[in-house]
Every structure is written in C-alpha cells, then in structure tokens.
Amino acid sequence: MILIVDDDLAVRTSLGLLLKQAGYATRAVATPAEALQVVEATPPQLVLMDMNYSLETSGHDGLQLLGQVKQVAPQLPVILITGWGSITLAVEGIKAGAAEFVTKPWNNDALLQTIRTILSLHEAPAAGSAALSRRDLDRQFNFRSIVGQDAQLLQLLRNVGQVAATDASVLIEGESGTGKELIAEAIHHNSHRRQQPFVKVNLGGISASLFESEMFGHRRGAFTDAKTDRVGRFELANKGTIFLDEIGELDISSQVKLLRVLQDRTYEVLGDSRARSLDIRVICATNRNLAELVQEGRFREDLFYRINLITVRLPALRERPDDIPLLVNHFVQNLRTTYHRPALKVGTRALHWLRELPLPGNIRELKNLVERAVLVSGKDELGPEDFQAQFHKAPARPAGELPAVGSMTLDELEAQMIRKSMEFYGGNVSRVAKALGLSRGALYRRLEKYAIPFDAEKGS
C-alpha cells in the first residue's frame, strides 16, 4: 500500500487514480496526524508526502512530519512532493532521510517510474548479505568487459547488478582511469533497457554556449549557424540510457538546464517550443569530489541529490593489486589479436613486478604501459626489463613537468595548465593567451569549457 499525504483533495484524488490505474493499492490522508496514525498502525510500502500543510507554506511542517515518520519507521521510503521554487526545501528533506523528491506539476510517467525505482531498491537484498564469487556473478549478470576478482570489486559488481534492474539514477565516482565508463555500460547491459540506445556524453568537452544544442538539439534557423536540424543527445538516448561523464566540469548555468530535464523528464528543442517527453535512465560519472564542489558553490546541491540516488565508488587499482596480473593478461590477449602475435605473453617475474607499481593513472595507465612494452620490445615473452624501460615514475616530479602517461586526459591537463597560468598572471587574459600560444578568443572558449572563472575587465 502507498500512503498519499496531502491537504489538497484534488491532489489526493489525482494521485489516487494514477496509482490505482498503475496497479497500486493506496490510502490518502490530509493531515500529518492522520499520516502518523496510518504509519504506526499499518505501515505502507511507500509514502508520497506533500511539504506544506498550513497557510505559512514554509515547508517546515512537512520536514517535521518526515522526521516523525522516520522515527516510527526508519526504513520506510518517502518521496517528497514540492513546487519547483521549493527545491531547496526538498534537498533539506533528502538530507533528513527522504528517498527522492518530485515537483508539482508532476509528469505522470516520470512519477510512476520514480515510485517503481524506489520500491525496487527497497525490496532488493541487503548489500551485506552473503558474498558471491566471480563465477556466481557472471552466471547472474553480464560483466564480460570487467576484469578482476578483488573482494571490493566483487561487492561493487553485486551492487551494480542489483541496481541495474531498476531505473535508479547512478553516480559513479573514482579516480581517472578506474573504469567508470565500463561500469556505466554494465549497468545498461544488465537493465531492462539493454536493447535500447546507450549514449555517452563527455560534458567536459561541451561549452556552455553549445550545451542546449548538443543535449536537446535544434531546428534549422534556430540561431545563426543552425544550417540544418540537429538531434540532441537526450533524444538519441530516449527509451535507453544516457551516460553523462565528467559531470563535475559542467558550468552552473548548464546545471540548471540539466536539472530541469532530469526533474520533469521533458525538454524543448531549440527553435521548437513543443515540450517533448523523455523515458530515460541517467548515469553520471566524475573524478571530482562533488560534495566539495557543492560546498564551494560550484555545483548545485539540488542537482547533486538528483543524480546520486545510488552512488558507486570505484577503488583505485592500487587498492586491488591482485587484479593487476589479471588485467595485464587480459590486455595481452587483446593485443595478440590486434597485432597478429599469437605467441605473445608476459613472464611470471614481470607480473610480480607490475603488481607492485603505484600506477596513479590506474587501469588506463597500466593498459598504455603494457601496449608500449609490447610494441617497443618486439619479443614474444616480456620480462620485467621490458616494462621497466617503458615505465616513467611520476610522484616526485618538479613543478611544471608532465604527469605520467595515462594518469591524466588531455582535457584535464589543458584545464590544469590554464588554471595555473591564470593564477600566475593574475587573471590577465591577454598575457595568459600569449603564454599559452592561443588567441584570446580560443582562450575564452576554453575558460568557458572548463568553467574557469575570469574577470573580463582584465582581458587586456
């Protein structure tokens, strides 16, 4: 049974009909006191709760009710219903234990999807239940592209398999090179959307001025350079999964637009005012600490809570060293085919040596190291010396020296260099552009792309 708590009869009636048509049993009450009586007497599966029950409309009575419900039934999932202008209040509710929030007027399909997701997550087996072996996991789920047997990884894969069956939004955190895209693909391939599109978007490579066109599409003539119609990424991913990589690089104005889409599950193509509905699963990834960015005011708190219903934290490769030999042999197996060298292999001593490497660039750095050693050595069996010749230590490098190959992407390196140059030249855009060998226009585009703050008055 789903409990609906709202002082507006029209809202209670509308939600009751919607849920009844979807096959859910419901009970509707108008006051916090009635809601508490129901929760204490016959605990529901889920509560849909409005935030306001008085003329004050501050939402504090809703927060108070949420706290009381959580005291009576701590595990009972609660979805908050609020107006768009009260999202800050809904975020307070999330912090107080609510599972999700939806805004009025709600989208029926999106609301039902949210309810199904929350119920599925609530009914899923606890993460602490009996651990599965890699063989057991492979029998249940499709994890062919993910290599490893470390206990941390296996627990993570178990959780991924369980979450994949729902439509929960997932935030994947981890250092560069840890395999966040592979996890996103695994979630999609183990979901009911597996036959639908999986669309990857690198948000770090999209400037604020192009965000709407790239993500929502545009009609011919919508702006000066719009020579033809363009299909946006969200439309390409409809019915499937969209993977928003490097979400920590998104500028604030684009964050607002993204939040609107994720909240309402509707969007408008530039040059076409007709709202279009979305049926989509959203997976985000970042190597940044989003909680810190929220504290610094560089990432919206409401968006943060919208995208991380489930958070998956990938361990660094140094935290699972026993998986390094498995990964090396996996890469070598692929290289045998790529370079037509069927006798290619790595000796036992070399595997032991590789296992002890710090590898700050994680799996990406290890893959690059293995491929360089294969290409340069020319031998069929690689020993420690072949990898030693190609390994470049990075930890104690002096300021200004390039990081180890594989430890950073070109975009990350470029953004870091621009930030350092802006700091060195006191934000003088002309001097920074000259030092980096860029035109001022090209530098402005990069400042916007990487959301690096600058003072336009210091442009010359």
Residues 79, 9 share a domain? yes
pLDDT 10s digits, 41-67: 999 999 999 988 776 656 688 899 999
Last residue of a domain, one of 296, 313, 330: 313
Asked if 71 and 24 sit in the same domain, the reply is: yes
Domain co-membership, 220 together with 304: yes
Does residue 209 share a domain with residue 270? yes
How many CB atoms are closer than 10 A to CB 105?
Answer: 11
Q: Does residue 253 form part of some domain?
A: yes
Both tokens of residue 312? 């998956």
Q: Residue 242 burial by CB count (10 A; 0-12/13-18/19+): exposed, middle or buried? A: buried
Whether residue 393 lies inside any domain: the answer is no
CB–CB of 284/249 below 8 Å?
no
Question: Is residue 193 one of the residues assigned to a domain?
Answer: yes
**Domain end position, chosen among 261, 292, 313:** 313
Structural domains of the chain, count: 4
Q: Are 437 and 288 found together in one domain?
A: no
Domain of 57, in residue numbers: 2-123
pLDDT in tens, 240-267: 999 999 999 999 999 999 998 998 888 8
* pLDDT, tens digit, 9 for 90 and up, residues 357-408: 989 999 999 999 999 999 999 899 999 999 999 887 554 444 455 666 666 7
| Residues 247 and 196 reside in one and the same domain | yes
Question: Does residue 341 sit within a domain?
Answer: yes
The residue out of 388, 420, 442 marking a domain boundary is 388
Give the model's pLDDT for residue 398: 47
The answer, yes or no, to whether residue 117 has pLDDT greater than 50, is yes
- Looking up residue 423, the CATH number of its domain turns out to be 1.10.10
Domain identity same for 238 and 200: yes
Q: Is 134 a domain residue? A: no
Residues in the chain: 460
Q: 304 and 195 share a domain? A: yes
- CATH code, domain with 355: 1.10.8.60
CATH of the domain at 233: 3.40.50.300
What pLDDT, on a 0 to 100 scale, did the predictor assign at position 84?
61
pLDDT at 292 over 50: yes
CATH code, domain with 80 = 3.40.50.2300
Considering the domain architecture, whether residues 287 and 182 belong to the same structural domain is answered as: yes
Whether residues 384 and 417 fall in one domain: no
pLDDT category, 125, cuts 50, 70, 90?
A: low
**What amino acid is encoded at 280 in this protein?**
I
Q: How far apart are CA 389 and CA 373, in angstroms?
A: 8
Say if residue 105 is preceded by a cis peptide, omega within 30 of 0.
Answer: yes
What interhelical angle do 362-377 and 324-338 show, nearest 10? 50
Are residues 105 and 32 both part of a single domain? Answer: yes
Q: Which of 249, 257, 244 is nearest to 293 (CA)?
A: 249
CB crowding 211-221: b at 16 or more within 10 Å, else e: bbbbbbbbeee
Mean pLDDT computed over every residue of the chain: 88
Max CA separation in the chain (angstroms): 79
23 found inside a domain: yes
343 and 219 housed in the same domain: no
pLDDT digits (tens, 9 = 90+) for 339-365: 999 999 999 999 999 999 989 999 999
Asked if the structure places residue 398 within a domain, the reply is: no
Residue 309 located in a structural domain:
yes
